[in-house]
Amino acid sequence: MTYLLFAGVCLLWGTSFLLMKLATPVFGPLTIGAGRLVGGALALGCLLAWRRRVRGADKAGPAWWRRGDLPSWAGMVGLGFIFTFVAQPYLIGKLNHSGFIGMMVAFVPLFTLGWAWWMLGTRPGGRQVAGVLLGLAAMPLLVGVGMDLGLARWELALALAVPLSYAWSNTLVKSRMTHVPPAVLTAVCCGVAAAVLGPVALAVEPVRWESAATGWTAVGALAVLGVLATGLATLMFYRMIQERGPLFAGMVTYIIPIEAVAWGALDGEPVAARQGVSLAVVLVAVALVQWPARAAAAK
């Protein structure tokens, strides 16, 4: 069952970058971000309501709200959801290239190592430091690819800020919010972020409905992106963490960038030689970062 969850997360998250690309001809980045948040909140809200009905109110879990958690909730909603969910479709729409943005996911475990050292006091070993340095060495290659595709310097910084934010929010969950059930955490963050972002998107972004084919393709892509790639996939990811640990779940970062580049290539996106080399370097760096902990866990 765990391997089915793993395959499902890889498929849904690896496909999400192409889904965002398919939505960009009709919807702006704010609307795409709000749409996937609404879809995720509805999917998980229905799941929580069903669980409560089946288990009964008397069997509900322990209270998860703490007044001191408000800054953590605000950080999760602001950086972990709103910022990342808007930045990615903006960059994909600017480039019309989903594979390059999907490659950025490979940096999440490298950045997580740094955040874990600061926020959790987990000191990296020598091999992990070498992995981070190798990953950083791949950044100039990626910068060159991004500039060739037409990104400005600040947009390249924005592309790297997305995995940095994901890594921070993931570490925040481990350090401050382990008492919150994963489904509740994701549903609340999606719901609050949608309530903040949705009105802004409706106010400032028009819908560009030029043809029925393009329009309904974008609507379908956004629906799948919200309900499946945001709601269901996130829930499966946290379940993997509970059953097999974060190291096993984190191995999806080996597959998602490759899948994102493959989907982009099938959609006609060019794959530069430097893009392939930089992706290979980053994946080797991720392997160096994760290998010591996996080896220790196997003993």
Residues 253-292: pLDDT tens digits?
778 888 998 999 999 988 878 778 877 887 787 777 766 5
> Does any domain span residue 175?
yes
Q: How far apart are alpha carbons 285 and 274 in whole angstroms?
A: 16
Q: How far apart are alpha carbons 179 and 185 in whole angstroms?
A: 10
The number of folded domains in the chain is: 1
Return the half-sphere exposure (C-beta side, CA atoms, 13 A cut-off) of residue 150. Answer: 7
In this predicted structure, the answer to whether residue 149 has a pLDDT above a threshold of 50 is: yes
Sign of CA dihedral 204, 210, 212, 214: negative
Q: In terms of residue numbers, what domain contains 154? A: 2-55+65-298
Q: Are 162 and 106 in contact (CB under 8 A)?
A: no
In the prediction, which pLDDT does 296 show? 45
> Does any domain span residue 236?
yes
pTM for the model stands at: 0.86
Closest-CA residue to 28 (of 148, 261, 234, 203): 203
Residue 104 DSSP one-character state: G
In the prediction, which pLDDT does 299 show? 40
> Does any domain span residue 60?
no
In this predicted structure, the answer to whether residue 60 has a pLDDT above a threshold of 60 is: no
> Does any domain span residue 171?
yes
Report pLDDT digits (tens) over 189-210.
Answer: 999 999 999 999 999 999 999 8
> Does any domain span residue 166?
yes
Q: Are 149 and 269 in contact (CB under 8 A)?
A: no
Q: How far apart are alpha carbons 55 and 53 in whole angstroms?
A: 6
Q: Are 13 and 82 in contact (CB under 8 A)?
A: no
In the prediction, which pLDDT does 132 show? 75
> Does any domain span residue 94?
yes
In this predicted structure, the answer to whether residue 42 has a pLDDT above a threshold of 90 is: yes
Closest-CA residue to 86 (of 42, 35, 19): 35
Q: How far apart are alpha carbons 20 and 36 in whole angstroms?
A: 10
Closest-CA residue to 8 (of 246, 233, 183, 226): 233
> Does any domain span residue 258?
yes
Report the pLDDT averaged over residues 128-143.
77
